[in-house]
Amino acid sequence: MTKKEKKSFNQSLAEWKRFIYNPTSGEFLGRTAKSWGLILLFYLVFYVFLAALFTFTMWVMLQTLNDEVPKYRDQIPSPGLTVYPKPLSALEYTFSASDPESYREYVEDLKSFLKPYTLEEQKNLTDCHVGGVLFEQNGPTYTACQFPVSLLEACSGLNDPSFGYAQGNPCILVKMNRIIGLKPQGTPRIECIPKEENVAAISTYPNNGTIDLKYFPYYGKKLHVGYLQPLVAAQVIFPANSTKQEVTVECKIDGSPNLKSQDDRDKFLGRVAFKVTAHA
Amino acid sequence: MGLGGKKGTVTPHERSPSPRPKRRLKPTQKKQVKRKKRRKDLEELKKEVVLDDHKLTLEQLSAKYSVDLTKGHTPERARELLIQNGPNMLTPPPSTPKWVKFCKQLFGGFSLLLWTGSILCFVAYGIQVYFKEESSKDNLYLGIVLAIVVFITGCFSYYQEAKSSKIMESFKNMVPQKAMVIRGGEKMQIHVEDVVLGDLVEVKGGDRIPADLRLISAQGCKVDNSSLTGESEPQSRSPDFTHENPLETRNICFFSTNCVEGTARGIVIATGDSTVMGRIASLTSGLAVGQTPIAAEIEHFIHLITMVAVFLGVTFFGLSLILGYSWLEAVIFLIGIIVANVPEGLLATVTVCLTLTAKRMARKNCLVKNLEAVETLGSTSTICSDKTGTLTQNRMTVAHLWFDRTVYAADTSEDQIGKTFAKGSDSWFILARIAGLCNRADFKADQEDIPIAKRSTTGDASESALLKFIEQTHSSVKEMREKSPKVAEIPFNSTNKYQVSIHLREDSSQTHVLMMKGAPERILEFCSTFLLNGQEYPMDNDMREAFQNAYLELGSLGERVLGFCFLNLPSTYSKGFPFNTDEINFPMDNLCFVGLISMIDPPRAAVPDAVSKCRSAGIKVIMVTGDHPITAKAIAKGVGIISEGHETAEDVAARLNIPVKQVDPRDVKAIVVHGSELKDMSSEQLDHILQNHAEIVFARTSPQQKLIIVEGCQRLGAIVAVTGDGVNDSPALKKADIGIAMGITGSDVSKQAADMILLDDNFASIVTGVEEGRLIFDNLKKSIAYTLTSNIPEITPFLLFIILGIPLPLGTVTILCIDLGTDMVPAISLAYESAESDIMKRLPRNPKTENLVNKRLIGMAYGQIGMIQALAGFFTYFVILAENGFKPFDLLGIRLEWEDRYLNDMEDSYGQQWTYEQRKVVEFTCHTAFFASIVVVQWADLIICKTRRNSVFQQGMKNKVLIFGLLEETFLAALLSYTPGMDLALRMYPLKITWWLCAVPYSILIFVYDEIRKLLIRQRPGCWLERETYY
């Protein structure tokens, strides 16, 4: 009969027990010990073989790679922009000038980020006097240019250890992502504009937000030891009598035709927007 | 309805005094009681028919139905009765409403799995939305897509079934039937539905009997009961009570049988559902139908896949908790893994494969009403076949002739291309003239274009057979009759058992010839001479013995034998003599015996071959017929159901001259079981017969017994196919795993009950059906193996994403592109694969052990091929990431940073910094490449899935659809990757050519591995490898 007879609960329980261990045939989960042994051995051998094969193909693939430069760089033709201090959630900086605790983390983050830029750390780097041109090198050793932190002026932290937060004029560092071999054309600079007019003024350091070409191209982590990427600081200066201490700032790369700052999907490609809220 | 008169099945007090339906209940009774009653009714319906009206005298009858036997009911009374008892029609089987059918398609079997997946997706999405404000909508989309897939597939299979049921409806005869009743002394034509109990009805040749009738008068009335009892010969009807059994007695005519000739008048004793026919029809519609084998297989498959899914899900749920994921994340992972195990495209694939086979079968004249029944024939291990109309042509045909002391075989094939016999003999000339002239049958008009054998005739079956035979083998009967006009005639009746006609002689002698035909022993009594090669010799004992032998020989073949003789009347009875057939005024003795002609309803030409094919395919063919055992046995021998050399116990006893009881049962392979024996058998005894005999014929069986036989076979674990055309077959058709009705001769009730219809009524089509059914089972296996394999490369990315914390290698969209895109056509193309070996030479599959999807298939697909495929995908993935700057070891544990939208300067292995979107583009490129790799390894998988045992080099690449499938999936993959705008629509990105090649070594590995595996399996049958990996 094709019709199913209803099994009682006890019956099915007994069936399950028999499936887990069948004392008459010595079967455990439907197989005898020998059968389990064989099948496990088979899969062991099979998987060991597969693992070996996979390892081999991976090894071959790794052999074809260059340690210094990735094979393809077409996925990152243009750098993204990122800001420091790193906000905890989204891109919003909220602090109160009168409460040091509210911006302590920002300051610490900036300090640790700027650590490689201290004079102490940079003393092994070359002081590239010539500015405004690409610093192309042919190896085998590559030198990295110094980026004196003093270029950031008010945001260098040298004079004001609170990076302006204590005055209610916070500094935000803007950084262009490293991309191996990237040669910006023209005179790239970072331009920061507040979205709402008359709410706040933005000062950028180095002056005009210029990014010196002497820091390009980048030759990669392995060759270009100690490389420091140029930074631009943006200081949001709220008017003293302003009631609304809140502004959205958009920074983007300008002045270089081959660095994109407009992409529908990628909101960080050549630009970055952040919101600063300063309480009294 | 055996021969025995006593019905031990129903105790007398249960017999209802009137044939009013017992099932009708007062509406006040509670529903529960009703249901119980219904079940009891069904049991009761399975019992034999109880009727006693045939035993009543006419007076009693008149009193019982309070009707005047000459004038009938008054119209008023008739109207009352009509309101009281309802119209005289069969209640149509409760037809399932269309929306219920549609819902069955939507929520049955496989769909359930997809619905569960879909719901789980929505649950996961709901959890995500509830606990985190922003989350990917992947789960939502996946849920919607799953629902859409089920919905579309459901619509598709509903449409398919609706199409075949439309063909079904076209079979229905829409012509309203009329009946002649006498009411208030006046004859009137009324609709059959308006006939009421006790109505006085008149029927004549050609009419359909409007209700169950007890005859009160009849003139030469014959009825064709074949649709009810399966007897191929028309039965004569008279008002006499001749048998205890209502089905055997002469004075009852049954609803919806046909009156062949003569006229009769009778009282309606049952109408509508309470008629014998109605009881069978209700029995049929009341039967519960079991699950189809393929549905059982799919259920088993769902169990397996669910087990794997739940096992994986729970394992990784635990693992992710150990790895420190939150409960919420772990639950999302759990659902994700379970859903990822659902083969989204498989439902559609299976449906399309079955549809394709159904179409192919329809082209070969097998119309399948229910898609799932497509495969059932392939699993069939027993066929219970009706005889009349299925195995035979349902047309009496001259089979043998005996004249000049020699038996000649006539050609009984449908198209009359065959052997001939001694047509040169003068005896044949005379025999042919008698057969043609002493014959009341005639062709109906306007049939000149139709082959003689197919023309319809008036008159009784044997006379028609003679008519056609003479027309075919001798000359035009019409001319013959014109030349020798009939001057007098004594028609056949059951007491005389002969028929006489007197004709003017063809020559100009103006004398007459008397011709006679009839039961051979009666004919011989009239004869004093016999004809040998055209010369008359006096009858001697030698001749009598020869006659006896011939008569016995033909009779034992199950044929109906007629004797022929003639007498040239002397010139005293020349033209103009007033022959009086009532008071015979002419000589009717000392006739000259000419010969015998025997007739049978011959087997269809293609049947013996089909039966032997079934047998070599391991299918037991059982004949179940309502006809007589001798005829049944003869036909069974003729078509090979009882094969040559196999004897029944009776045969052995006769040969060895010992009593039947002493026959060693081991010698007996064949058995003919009479319905009356069957009636007294317990189910154990029946099982014993079914188990111990290879060749079985059931004769004189009632519809109920057919049902019992089918149930017996099913009890023994067989998957039973039943073929039949009559109403009497319909309960068995319904109960069978697959009921096969005849499209041309089949009754509506049988077609309703069947799952499949043979449009050409040819039993041989069943063989085609079996072949197609077995092929699709094999091919579905391959198709499922192919589809399931890609599940592993689809799941493992997610698992490693959880465990190793690497960027997700394959996304939901790409998984759907595989399951519902590239995998679809190749999987379907496997349905077109030809068989690996002769599938008709192997035994039917054992439904208990040979499953559609078994552990071995899962092991192969998931454990072996799937793993290689997954490695291919991961290799491509690592290659792309490494070539773009992310080396494999730097990827481990990178997940959280990688997924952080606000981390836009993520450093790669070379010190470059990536924005979120930039690395996502790389990730999606990886998805695309992983997808492309799966396509590449699925090439190899498709080729290895073509065969389960043979090498591809043996099988060849003749499957054009499969080649198309290979090209199509590649083209589709390229299209998805390279079409501009795909990055926006599906987030699929163009790939570098080298990335396509990463999977090629793995593809080759799959092919080589499987070829070696199959080689080993072929070389060492039964080896461990076969036991563990041959699916």
B578/A147 Cα distance (integer angstroms): 144
Q: Which residue has the higher pLDDT, B23 or B248?
A: B248
Mean pLDDT on A199-217: 88
> Per-residue confidence at B23, pLDDT binned at 50, 70, 90?
very low
- Annotated catalytic residue B386: yes
Mean pLDDT on B129-138: 74
Q: Which residue has the higher pLDDT, B859 or B229?
A: B859
Residue B649 in this model has a pLDDT that exceeds 90: no
> Per-residue confidence at B726, pLDDT binned at 50, 70, 90?
confident
Q: B732: distance to nearest CA of chain A, Å? A: 14
Check residue B416 and give its pLDDT: 58
Check residue B134 and give its pLDDT: 62
Q: Which of B53, B207, B386, B460 is catalytic?
A: B386
Task: Supply B748's token pair.
Answer: 């509506």
Chain segment B285-314, per-residue pLDDT in tens: 777 777 888 888 888 888 888 888 889 999
Buried/exposed code over B704-737 (b: 16+ C-beta within 10 A; e: otherwise): bbbbbbbbbbbeeebbbbbbbbbbbbbbbbbbbb
Q: B403: distance to nearest CA of chain A, Å? A: 53
Query: To probe the interface with A, which of B380, B708, B910 has the most A CB atoms within 10 Å?
Result: B910
Of A58, A87, A272, the CB nearest to B878: A58
The verdict on whether omega for the bond into residue A85 sits within 30 degrees of 0, i.e. cis, is: yes
CB distance A72–B864 less than 8 Å?
no
Q: Which residue has the higher pLDDT, A56 or B168?
A: A56
Check residue A42 and give its pLDDT: 94
Residue B189 in this model has a pLDDT that exceeds 70: yes
B387/B4 Cα distance (integer angstroms): 22
Task: Supply B14's token pair.
Answer: 């249960």
B252 touches chain A (CB under 8 A): no
Buried/exposed code over B564-588 (b: 16+ C-beta within 10 A; e: otherwise): bbbbebeeebeeebebeeeeeebee
Identify whether the C-beta of residue B785 lies closer than 8 Å to the C-beta of residue B397: no
> Which of B161-170, B650-659, B820-829 holds the top average pLDDT?
B820-829
Check residue B408 and give its pLDDT: 86
> Per-residue confidence at B581, pLDDT binned at 50, 70, 90?
confident
Residue B5 in this model has a pLDDT that exceeds 60: no
Dihedral of the alpha carbons of B481, B486, B492, B497, in degrees to the nearest 10? -90
Mean pLDDT on B189-203: 87
Check residue B46 and give its pLDDT: 63
> Per-residue confidence at B663, pLDDT binned at 50, 70, 90?
confident
Q: Is B267 helix (H, G, I), strand (E, B) or coil?
A: strand
Check residue B860 and give its pLDDT: 92
CB distance B913–A79 less than 8 Å?
yes
Q: Which of B29-43, B134-148, B546-560, B923-937 has the lowest mean pLDDT?
A: B29-43
Check residue B10 and give its pLDDT: 36
Check residue B977 and give its pLDDT: 94
Q: B912: distance to nearest CA of chain A, Å? A: 5
Check residue B417 and give its pLDDT: 56
Q: A241: distance to nearest CA of chain B, Å? A: 33
Mean pLDDT on B553-572: 87
Check residue B218 and give its pLDDT: 86
Check residue B43 and give its pLDDT: 64
B982/B79 Cα distance (integer angstroms): 75
Average pLDDT, chain A: 86
User: Which residues 6+ apart lie within 8 Å of B325 measured at CB?
Assistant: B333, B802
CB distance B875–A87 less than 8 Å?
no
A232/A192 Cα distance (integer angstroms): 10
Strand partners, B164: none
* Chain B residue closest in CA terms to A181: B912
Identify whether the C-beta of residue B272 lies closer than 8 Å to the C-beta of residue B20: no
> Per-residue confidence at B39, pLDDT binned at 50, 70, 90?
low
Q: Which residue has the higher pLDDT, A108 or B260?
A: A108
Residue B1023 in this model has a pLDDT that exceeds 70: yes
Q: Which of residues 289-308 of B touch A (CB under 8 A)?
A: 290-291, 293, 296
The verdict on whether omega for the bond into residue A206 sits within 30 degrees of 0, i.e. cis, is: yes
A277/A170 Cα distance (integer angstroms): 10
B1028 touches chain A (CB under 8 A): yes
B711 touches chain A (CB under 8 A): yes
pTM for this prediction? 0.83
Residue A30 in this model has a pLDDT that exceeds 80: no
Residue B693 in this model has a pLDDT that exceeds 50: yes
Mean pLDDT on A141-156: 86
Check residue B1 and give its pLDDT: 34
Residue B490, amino acid: I
Alpha helices for B403-531 (secondary structure H): 426-437, 461-473, 477-483, 520-526
Residues for chain A: how many in total? Answer: 280
Chain segment B752-787, per-residue pLDDT in tens: 888 898 888 888 888 888 999 999 999 999 999 999
User: Which residues 6+ apart lie within 8 Å of B159 measured at CB?
Assistant: none
Mean pLDDT on B370-394: 86
Buried/exposed code over A95-123 (b: 16+ C-beta within 10 A; e: otherwise): bbbeeeeebeebbebbeeebeebeeeebe
Check residue B629 and give its pLDDT: 87
Residues of A in contact with B1024 (CB under 8 A): 38
Count of CB atoms within 10 A of residue B381's CB? 21
CB distance B916–A268 less than 8 Å?
yes
Mean pLDDT on B996-1020: 94
> Per-residue confidence at B93, pLDDT binned at 50, 70, 90?
low
Q: Which of A43-57, A164-178, B866-880 has the lowest mean pLDDT?
A: A164-178
H or E stretch at B501: strand B498-504
Residues of B in contact with A86 (CB under 8 A): 902
State CA A61 to chain mean position distance: 26
Residue A137, amino acid: Q
CB distance B904–A3 less than 8 Å?
no
Average pLDDT, chain B: 84
Check residue B31 and give its pLDDT: 47
Check residue B383 and give its pLDDT: 93
> Per-residue confidence at B71, pLDDT binned at 50, 70, 90?
confident
Residue B823 in this model has a pLDDT that exceeds 50: yes
B887 touches chain A (CB under 8 A): yes
Dihedral of the alpha carbons of B592, B594, B599, B605, in degrees to the nearest 10? -170
Size of the A and B interface in Cβ pairs below 8 Å: 132
Q: Which of B91-100, B471-480, B507-516, B955-964 has the lowest mean pLDDT?
A: B91-100
* Chain A residue closest in CA terms to B715: A1
> Which of A1-10, A149-158, B457-466 holds the top average pLDDT?
A149-158
CB distance A177–B922 less than 8 Å?
no
Q: At what angle do helices B791-803 and B293-322 cross, to 10 degrees?
A: 20
Identify whether the C-beta of residue B365 lies closer than 8 Å to the C-beta of residue B703: no
Residues for chain B: how many in total? Answer: 1031
Residue B162 in this model has a pLDDT that exceeds 90: no
Check residue B191 and give its pLDDT: 86
Residues of A in contact with B918 (CB under 8 A): 75-76, 80, 266, 269
Residues of B in contact with A87 (CB under 8 A): 902
Chain segment B888-902, per-residue pLDDT in tens: 999 999 988 998 888
B242/B97 Cα distance (integer angstroms): 46
Mean pLDDT on B73-94: 83
Mean pLDDT on B82-88: 85
Identify whether the C-beta of residue B979 lies closer than 8 Å to the C-beta of residue B917: no
**What percent of chain B clears pLDDT 70, i.e. is strictly above it?**
92
Task: Supply B984's token pair.
Answer: 């926006």
